[in-house]
Amino acid sequence: MRQTAPRTSVLFHVVDFNDGGIESSLIQWLRILDRSRFEITLSVMFASPPFISRFRALIPQDVKVEILVDRPWLNHFQSRRYARKLSKLGRVGRDVFNTLAVRPYVRKRIASLAKHHDVIVDFDMSLRRWASQFNVAWLGVNHFSFDARLGNRPRKARRLAQQYARYDAVVALNQHMADEANAMFGDGLRRLVVLPNAIDIDAINASASAPDASTAPVAAPYIVSVARLDEIQKDHRTLLHAYAKMVSSNAVAEHLVIVGNGAFRQELEGVAAQLGIAQRVHFVGHQDNPHALIAHARALVLSSRYEGMPMVLLEALAHGKPIVATDCPTGPREILDDGRAGILVPIGEPDVMADALMRVVADAGLRDAMTANALARAQHYGIEQSNRRFAECVADILAARHAHRSVKAPA
């Protein structure tokens, strides 16, 4: 009788859930992994308000969820942080408390969970101090450009290099990011793996017609941007100037819908007013389900100065949207297949962005071709290919650990 191979038990870990791309990409992995191969647990250090109100319901029912800091007294400072009631002195107290009380407690919880798992996927690398411990394979996932985050901080880069070297493998989301890691860390990492974010294409398309999907704030056709209002990274100023140029130079029917919240919202609304486009630019804030807004847009635009591997571009591919994105480090060029699945424009150049957007909205034939290319490119990040890549990665690090143990074992 043929025996079924035992499943590999995988523990995904993240500190908490907010409203960023890391959380979205983690939910996608929890959904798409092949259950005939993998048994999955999720550990979350703190149960944040977004986790309780939104993300908990998105986690598949067969994924066991462990909240590591599960004692009310251990959550005192973190709860005040979520409520935005933590003063400067309180932040100092939190750091001391976390070092003396929270961190040892979490370490015990992780050590206990490790006994029942083959692999820990440290999805935000928040457990890097303990990577290589507990007799389990460790996979650390980096979501950002190494150069953008560490290029001007050599001391921090050296410290992190020592911690990253403890992982059985460090994951880069694309080849550009892997090239940065090789240049920065050299041979210091045990293994460097390129493992892109994954998407469930059918689920993404279905979410566009779900009851909770956001609807457009305007009846006119529109261009959509979905990004946190963080000008250090996302650069909506360039987008607003590009859109103003489109409006002033052409008869443009399309409005601009900006999805996202952040500290720069009031400033950006002021920029739109100064440029005379405030009536055509719609700031709709964060949307739990923006997929209908993406699906019905004329095009999606990303204006970032740097990225990791932006989930919004993957989701736009799944919807077959024409895309205009800055050619920033590290994600857009690879996601858009060197410009074959979207238009790449230079960082911080509104005139070039305006010309690209104008080409898209004015040329229906171009949009049709871009839609076909986007849908084809989305398959590269779909369930089948993502499972293959993840299974190969896990098999490689487990085989390497087995070989290492065999070499160390006495004859």
pLDDT of residue 82: 93
- Interval 1-16 mean pLDDT: 84
Digit-coded pLDDT (tens) for 105-128: 999 999 999 999 999 999 999 999
pLDDT of residue 3: 53
Q: Which two tokens stand for residue 295?
A: 């699906």
What is the torsion angle, in degrees rounded to the nearest 10, for the CA atoms of residue 383, residue 48, residue 121 and residue 95? 160
Looking at every residue in the chain, the average pLDDT score rounds to 94
* Cβ-contact 272, 281 below 8 angstroms: yes
- Interval 46-65 mean pLDDT: 95
- Interval 180-203 mean pLDDT: 94
Statement: the pTM of the whole predicted model exceeds 0.85: yes
pLDDT of residue 408: 59
Q: Strand order in 137-142's β-sheet?
A: 64-67, 38-44, 8-14, 119-122, 137-142, 169-172, 192-194
* Cβ-contact 213, 207 below 8 angstroms: yes
Inter-CA distances, 26 with 14, 85, 97, 127, 253, Å: 9, 28, 28, 16, 37
pLDDT of residue 34: 96
* Cβ-contact 306, 149 below 8 angstroms: no
CA nearest to 63, candidates 37, 34, 36, 31? 31
pLDDT of residue 95: 94
Digit-coded pLDDT (tens) for 126-153: 999 999 999 999 999 999 888 888 888 8
Q: Which two tokens stand for residue 341?
A: 């699945």
pLDDT of residue 40: 98
User: Burial code of 198-227, b = ≥16 C-beta within 10 A, e = fewer?
Assistant: bbbbebbbebbeeeebbebeeeeebbbbbb
User: Regarding the domain delimited by 8-198+383-408, which CATH topology (the fold level of the hierarchy) does it fall under?
Assistant: Rossmann fold (3.40.50)
CATH number given to 201-381: 3.40.50.2000
* Cβ-contact 123, 195 below 8 angstroms: no
Domain with CATH 3.40.50.2000 in the chain: 8-198+383-408, 201-381
Of all residues in the chain, what percent carry a pLDDT higher than 90?
87
pLDDT of residue 23: 92
Residue type, 186: G
Q: Which two tokens stand for residue 114?
A: 């490790």
pLDDT of residue 308: 87
> What does the alpha-carbon distance between residue 341 and residue 321 come to, in Å, rounded to a whole number?
9
User: Burial code of 243-264, b = ≥16 C-beta within 10 A, e = fewer?
Assistant: bbbbbeeeebebbbbbbbebeb
C-alpha 242: how far from chain center = 26
Digit-coded pLDDT (tens) for 303-358: 999 998 999 999 999 999 999 999 998 899 999 999 999 999 999 999 999 999 99
Residue holding tokens 């261009």?
223
Digit-coded pLDDT (tens) for 234-280: 999 999 999 999 999 888 999 999 999 999 999 999 999 999 999 99
pLDDT of residue 186: 87
CA nearest to 300, candidates 282, 312, 310? 312
